[in-house]
């Protein structure tokens, strides 16, 4: 035996020890996000709002369409929030349960926000990635089109669309989705331009991978961080857009409702002293927007290596 | 500079024409014509109406007439619902009102926002900074359609200080709430942008040089820091303008101020396509014009831009 016994043992021990694991950029980002108090608060708020939207219907005593005839006509005195008659948030001026209506409004507003942002993510990412990666004249034409579309006052066009093709949820999704991807396309294109000359893309090209496959398999996955940040910030913007249209009475139609429609109703009746009709929808609207903005900012701080 | 403006115009004009043609085609595609009613009109009446408004011409001729009317005579045609009124009259009624409170709101947002942001940057981490940051975070979730009811609730219903709606050119008390409701959220964004870009500029070399040669702080800020710090703010002005025009619709409805937003929503509910298109095109033209002004302003402020 030339090698010492002890040395041999210590080497063996080291080999069986678990290796110190390197931290991936994603783990770093997760750690930064978890330490960000505002972002975590926002996340908790969003979870609570989501629970409210999903399970609120089970708690509600009244459905959103029933009229409570015992309070009808005297909503200002009898319709206030109360635990006894089951109207936790009071009633609206027709005697419908505001709790059930708020649950429904929350569901629809969140749905519009998430679907709108989803369309923006899919269309915007693909459009921006193609424009950035292909480059040249294609890029010129594609981005000029975006420029032109952006200089159009989209809210007016959206309302024009809604009026001409009938007000429906599908049309609302389509209209909001139609305009929401423009910013996303610009951001993604910028990122793609900085990615496309990196070595791994060059390697893929050298081994004869097709353009479409490079975009899907190599460019898009590397954009996920940026896209996630902007998608989170897009959701509240979509909610704002929908609420704006519904506030004007041009968005979702009765018996469906949304935060914008509820705020509009509450704002119209507050001079009769029925303040709860404004307060509850407004409360959910405000905390959800706060939640999304905080989470979005937190994600940006966590994922964007520039601002460290 | 002149060539630069010309080049920008060369992009702006086709954009506007495209907007006009697109909105016309949209109207053409829409199910049901402008005279579709619950009780169907006799075919002869419908044919006469279509002939009167030129709707029986071939499509290309209709588009040509519409574009020609707007570009050459600034004439948006008749309203389809109120036969005795033209779109021009409806717009002319509301436009001065929108322009008045819109301009005031825009100035308020820019002046207060820039001042607040600059002060916050100078007193970084002081109470003024925290106040400004707090306001700008809070105002993010207070868009015009939330501010409007809240203002009425406090200033009209509780305190009774201001009229809750209506408009008068001679009495500024009618102007206050529309201006505040319209400007708050943009004021906050402008303050935030100014603050962060001001902080960046204040940390740069030319500011250190200016301070090192003993220049008074006031002059350093106003003369050397403010101009470069304004660049991000100026590029944000275009979107602010668009959102404010859009927001004016809420103001017109909620405060009954009678601006063009009212004409727009009324026509939307009446399916009066001619008025809707007229307002959309007017707003589009204003937007394009404003973006042109912003571009020129940007080129003027930033010496690095070559045109």
Which residues of chain A neighbour B152 with C-beta distances below 8 Å? 267, 270
Q: Measured between CB atoms, does A184 come within 8 Å of chain B?
A: no
For residues B114 and B187, the answer to whether their CB atoms sit within 8 Å is no
Q: Is A90 exposed, middle or buried (0-12, 13-18, 19+ CB in 10 A)?
A: buried
Q: How many CB atoms lie within 10 A of CB B50?
A: 15
CA A173 – CA B73 distance, rounded (Å): 38
CA B183 – CA B109 distance, rounded (Å): 5
DSSP state of B202: H
Q: How many CB atoms lie within 10 A of CB A202?
A: 11
Which residues of chain A neighbour B246 with C-beta distances below 8 Å? 153, 155-156, 244
Beta bridge partners of A67: A96
Partner residue opposite B276 with nearest CB, options A160, A247, A249: A160
Q: Do A148 and B149 touch (CB under 8 A)?
A: no
pLDDT digits (tens, 9 = 90+) for B129-177: 888 888 888 887 888 888 888 888 888 778 877 777 777 777 777 888 8
Structure tokens at B283: 């707003």
For residues B98 and B259, the answer to whether their CB atoms sit within 8 Å is yes
CA distance A126 to chain B (A): 25
Q: Measured between CB atoms, does B17 come within 8 Å of chain A?
A: no
Q: Measured between CB atoms, does B196 come within 8 Å of chain A?
A: no
CA B192 – CA A130 distance, rounded (Å): 33
Alpha carbon distances (Å) from A72 to A75, A78, A80, A256? 6, 8, 12, 20
Alpha carbon distances (Å) from A38 to A42, A138, A240, B126, B142? 6, 42, 21, 20, 19
Which residues of chain B neighbour A148 with C-beta distances below 8 Å? 15, 18
CA distance B16 to chain A (A): 9
Locus of tokens 């009324």: B266
CA A232 – CA A237 distance, rounded (Å): 9
CA A132 – CA A135 distance, rounded (Å): 5
For residues B129 and B120, the answer to whether their CB atoms sit within 8 Å is yes
Alpha carbon distances (Å) from A308 to A25, A172, A302? 13, 39, 8
Q: Where are the domains of chain A?
A: 105-307
pLDDT in single tens digits along all 308 residues of chain A:
566 778 777 777 777 766 666 777 778 888 888 888 888 888 999 999 899 888 887 877 777 777 777 766 676 677 677 777 777 787 777 778 888 888 888 998 999 889 888 888 999 999 999 998 888 888 888 888 887 777 777 777 788 778 777 777 788 888 887 778 888 898 889 888 888 888 888 899 899 888 889 888 888 888 888 888 888 888 888 888 888 888 887 778 777 888 888 888 888 887 777 788 888 888 999 899 889 888 888 888 787 655 44
Partner residue opposite A148 with nearest CB, options B15, B145, B250: B15
CA distance A83 to chain B (A): 26
Which residues of chain B neighbour A290 with C-beta distances below 8 Å? 140-141
Q: Which stretches of chain A are DSSP H helices?
A: 5-16, 25-35, 37-59, 75-78, 98-134, 136-150, 154-164, 169-195, 199-206, 211-214, 220-247, 259-269, 276-303
Q: Is B203 exposed, middle or buried (0-12, 13-18, 19+ CB in 10 A)?
A: exposed
pLDDT at res. A308: 41
What phi and psi, each to the nearest 5 degrees, are found at residue A249? 80, 15
pLDDT at res. A73: 67
pLDDT at res. B174: 80
What is the architecture, at CATH level 2, of domain A105-307?
Orthogonal Bundle (1.10)
DSSP state of B158: I
Q: Is B301 exposed, middle or buried (0-12, 13-18, 19+ CB in 10 A)?
A: middle
Extract the residue ranges of chain B whose pLDDT is less than 70: 30-39, 304-307
pLDDT at res. A307: 46
pLDDT digits (tens, 9 = 90+) for B98-115: 888 888 999 999 999 999
């Amino acid at each position: 035996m030339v090698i010492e016994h002890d040395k041999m043992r210590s080497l063996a021990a080291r080999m069986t020890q678990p290796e110190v694991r390197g931290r991936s950029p994603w783990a770093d980002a997760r750690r930064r996000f978890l330490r960000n108090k505002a972002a975590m608060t926002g996340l908790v708020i969003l979870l609570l709002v989501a629970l409210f939207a999903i399970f609120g219907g089970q708690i509600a005593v009244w459905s959103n369409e029933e009229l409570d005839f015992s309070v009808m006509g005297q909503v200002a005195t009898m319709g206030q929030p109360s635990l006894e008659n089951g109207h936790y948030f009071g009633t609206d001026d027709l005697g419908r349960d505001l709790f059930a209506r708020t649950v429904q409004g929350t569901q629809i507003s969140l749905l519009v926000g998430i679907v709108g942002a989803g369309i923006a993510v899919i269309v915007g990412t693909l459009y921006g990635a193609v424009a950035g990666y292909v480059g040249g004249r294609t890029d010129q034409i594609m981005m000029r089109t975006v420029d032109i579309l952006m200089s159009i006052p989209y809210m007016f066009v959206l309302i024009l669309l809604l009026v001409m093709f009938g007000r429906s949820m599908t049309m609302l999704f389509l209209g909001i989705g139609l305009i929401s991807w423009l910013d996303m396309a610009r951001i993604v294109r910028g990122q793609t331009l900085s990615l496309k000359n990196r070595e791994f893309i060059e390697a893929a090209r050298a081994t004869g991978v097709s353009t479409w496959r490079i975009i899907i398999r190599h460019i898009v996955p590397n954009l996920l961080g940026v896209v996630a940040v902007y998608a989170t910030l897009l959701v509240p913007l979509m909610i704002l857009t929908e609420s704006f249209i519904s506030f004007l009475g041009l968005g979702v139609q009765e018996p469906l409702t949304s935060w914008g429609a509820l705020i509009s109703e509450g704002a119209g009746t507050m001079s009769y002293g029925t303040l709860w009709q404004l307060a509850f929808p407004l409360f959910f609207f405000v905390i959800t927007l706060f939640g999304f903005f905080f989470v979005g900012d937190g994600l940006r701080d966590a994922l964007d290596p520039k601002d460290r | 500079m002149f060539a630069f403006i010309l080049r920008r115009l060369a992009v702006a004009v086709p954009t506007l024409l495209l907007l006009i043609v697109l909105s016309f085609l949209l109207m053409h595609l829409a199910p049901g014509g402008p005279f579709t009613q619950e009780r169907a009109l006799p075919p002869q009446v419908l044919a006469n109406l279509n002939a009167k408004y030129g709707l029986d011409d071939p499509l290309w001729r209709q588009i040509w007439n519409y574009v020609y009317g707007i570009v050459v005579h600034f004439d948006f045609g008749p309203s389809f619902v109120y036969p005795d009124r033209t779109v021009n009259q409806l717009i002319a009624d509301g436009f001065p009102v929108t322009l008045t409170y819109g301009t005031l709101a825009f100035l308020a947002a820019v002046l207060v926002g820039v001042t607040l942001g600059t002060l916050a940057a100078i007193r970084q981490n002081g109470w003024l900074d925290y106040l400004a940051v707090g306001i700008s975070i809070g105002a993010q979730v207070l868009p015009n359609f939330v501010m409007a009811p809240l203002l009425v609730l406090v200033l009209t219903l509780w305190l009774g200080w201001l009229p809750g709606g209506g408009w008068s050119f001679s009495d500024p008390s009618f102007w206050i709430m529309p201006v505040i409701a319209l400007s708050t959220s943009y004021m906050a964004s402008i303050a935030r942008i100014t603050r962060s870009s001001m902080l960046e500029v204040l940390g740069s070399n030319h500011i250190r040089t200016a301070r090192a040669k003993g220049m008074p702080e006031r002059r350093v800020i106003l003369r050397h820091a403010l101009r470069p710090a304004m660049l991000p703010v100026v590029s944000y002005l275009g979107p602010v303008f668009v959102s404010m025009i859009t927001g004016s619709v809420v103001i017109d409805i909620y405060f009954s101020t009678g601006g063009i937003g009212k004409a727009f929503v009324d026509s939307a509910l009446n399916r009066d396509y001619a008025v809707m298109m007229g307002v959309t095109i007017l707003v589009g033209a204003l937007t394009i014009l404003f973006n042109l002004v912003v571009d020129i302003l940007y080129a003027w402020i930033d010496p690095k831009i070559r045109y």
